[in-house]
Amino acid sequence: MVGPSSSHTAGAARIGLAARAILGLQPVRVKVQLHGSFAATGKGHATDRALAAGLLGFAPDDDRLKDSLRLAEDAGIAISFSETDLGEDCHPNAARLTVESSEGKSHRIIGWSVGGGSILVREIDGFDTRLAGELATLVLWHKDLTGYLAKVTTLYDCAGVNIATIRLSRTARGNTALTTIEADAPLPEAALSLIGGLVATRDLRAIPPLDSWI
């Protein structure tokens, strides 16, 4: 890795990568809210540069991390930083990122940097989740309908892809829900388009592992 702290730099870079991956393309506007130790010592630990590097799609060991704030500006990504308090239960190294694409699509994630550069995405658009970014991940925004998950998991079965974790959370009965699935391999294009074609699916994103081991 490059940068002073695995939690504050490598972990932060991965949180940036995760936010970019969940949006599905390079954001044009990003609001970063820093919590706890990220806010307190982020400058010395280059947390801002690391988040920008991740948003640019750079891996945590990319030399360009050093100049990423300028590179982000050159690439047309406007990043604003502020402090926030995400509450007692939140890990001390955490940030909330609101990413916006040029077409006005927007997502909000909360990422925890849990030590040694590992991360957990704990929230996507207000839904609880728990993604480490180490496996092939599928994020599904969908209507809360009976049998939806059964259809999706059947497609995993047909494709011969083994599911490692699965998590569904919803706001209220019949409203929008979010399902995240981590699997040992990515789902083939054909299966993805079948899931995308389900009536209840509102949006989906297939995310490869964020970066290689360690």
Q: Which residues form the interface with another protein (CB under 8 A)?
A: 1-10, 33-34, 36-37, 39-48, 61, 63, 65-66, 81-85, 91-93, 113-117, 184, 213-214
Residue 45 or 142 having the CB closest to another protein:
45
Q: How far is the CB of 20 from another protein (least distance, A)?
A: 19
Cβ of residue 47: shortest distance to another protein, in angstroms? Answer: 6
As measured in angstroms, the least distance from the Cβ of 25 to another protein is: 25
Tokens of 105: 């699509």
Q: Take residue 82 and report the two structure tokens written for it.
A: 């502020």
Q: How far is the CB of 155 from another protein (least distance, A)?
A: 22
Cβ neighbour number for residue 160 with a 10 Å cutoff? 8
Contact 168, 160 (CB under 8 A): no
Nearest CB to another protein, comparing residues 147 and 208: 208
Residues 193 and 179 sit within 8 Å (Cβ to Cβ): no
Q: Measured from the CB atom, is 131 or 204 closer to another protein? A: 131
The answer to whether 152 and 140 have CB atoms below 8 angstroms apart is yes
Q: Look at the alpha carbons of 8, 141, 90, 183 in this order and tell me if their dihedral is positive or negative.
A: negative
Q: Which is nearer to another protein, 164 or 190 (CB)?
A: 164
